[in-house]
Structure 1
């Protein structure tokens, strides 16, 4: 049974979204830039009170606004897409979550920096972010394969930005696998939240390959490599807090997928959007 919120989101056609959220730039008119212009007023906005200047700047990034079926409608700033006041009206955007494994099958976790505006200090999977509304991350042709490639392009970019993993290493030392898409909504600290169709990407380093990890302290407070059993122990520690999407993925899929890490052919490329609303 779909929730009342799911029904709200499902009934929003492209024209409804553009009418309800006039700040969304229609796809054909989008600037095709990573970020919209910032202004001196951004830092003065009361929703940014007390927040880090670099993180405020990143709130101008142009996320991909979606309809229920994961079709791109236009560009909306990260700020626009993450305000709960908009999320409660059904505003939806595209995201990705990377699970980066070493050649022994250990998973790289990060603890989000205190400076993060949404979900600060929480432990999560390796990298969680957004494809931007630009040609090489959008999946312009509209096929699932093209959208996945856009998410992978964004993931390579953000693994370097957040964790200092050089793009050339990511491209040459291992392989991405697209597992599926999950659709969820979760409030964060006021007034922020998430409402995303999230592309789940596994990445495993090749045999005898290693990866540089040199985190950006403005993004990542801490990191660690864990086995499945070590992760389960972390979830049992009441002093540790985790992002809602990471908990959802762990509860629904992660450990079963992890067991098949050496051969993901039976679980990858699932075309279904798994609704968790």
Structure 2
């Protein structure tokens, strides 16, 4: 299987080239990415536990899905594609915000991403891809926040960063209404 390229970007999210995914993570080069949060009608967020054979962060809990856009693909198209590939369903997605973060892993790789955070709604059970996902669960936002505080090693490095911003975004949005 051919390794996928990631889209290298500058801080304004303007594409400046392509690079194989592993090389970008080895060199900690800024590239475009996305994170999808799926919520149900109870206001719970669907979390996934990464598969045990993932090359980094195996068996850690994280947001519903995340990955990298392909060349020529919009953020929404990429989010829907990966949601189907990992979780076995699709949903309408809304882009909420984007930001840059850097998260090193214990295996020497580093995520340095301009991350586009999206949200969608779904009711029901996913049909998880076992090569990507070990398990899944619904959790209330407050429960996630508390569990990250008491069990930070159970979550991916990027999720801890992204969840804080996602949580703050939803709180500010509800205060405005």
Aligned-partner Cα distance in 2 for 1:131–1:233: 31
Deviations 1:179-215 (A, max 9, x none): 111101111132312010000101124xxxx344011
Match of 1:161 in 2: 85
Secondary structure of 1:155's partner?
helix
**Pairing 1:108-119 to 2, within 5 Å after superposition:** 108-119=46-57
Q: How far did residue 234 of structure 1 move?
A: 2.0
Count of residues paired in the alignment: 177
Q: Which has the higher contact order (CA 8 A, sep 6+)?
A: 2
Query: Would the alpha carbon gap of residues 254 and 239 (structure 1) be closer, same or farther in structure 2, given more than 3 Å must change?
Result: closer
Is 1:213 the counterpart of 2:126? The answer is yes
Aligned-partner Cα distance in 1 for 2:171–2:43: 8
Match of 1:69 in 2: 12
Q: How far did residue 122 of structure 1 move?
A: 1.5
Deviations 1:113-172 (A, max 9, x none): 121112222111111111012x2x1xxxxxxxxxxxx1110111111111111x4xx2xx
Match of 1:34 in 2: none
Match of 1:204 in 2: 121
Aligned-partner Cα distance in 2 for 1:127–1:78: 17
Match of 1:145 in 2: none
Aligned alpha-carbon RMSD (Å)? 2.3
Q: How far did residue 240 of structure 1 move?
A: 4.9
Q: Which residues of structure 2 form unaligned runs of 5+? A: none
Match of 2:159 in 1: 246
Q: Is contact 1:118-1:193 (8 Å) kept?
A: no
| Structure having the larger proportion of residues in strand | 2
Query: Would the alpha carbon gap of residues 92 and 164 (structure 1) be closer, same or farther in structure 2, given more than 3 Å must change?
Result: same
Deviations 1:86-133 (A, max 9, x none): 11xxx2110000010012211000111121112222111111111012
Report the structure number with the largest CA radius of gyration. 1
Return the TM-score normalized by structure 1. Answer: 0.58
Match of 1:233 in 2: 146
Return the TM-score normalized by structure 2. Answer: 0.88
Secondary structure of 2:118's partner?
strand
Match of 1:101 in 2: 39
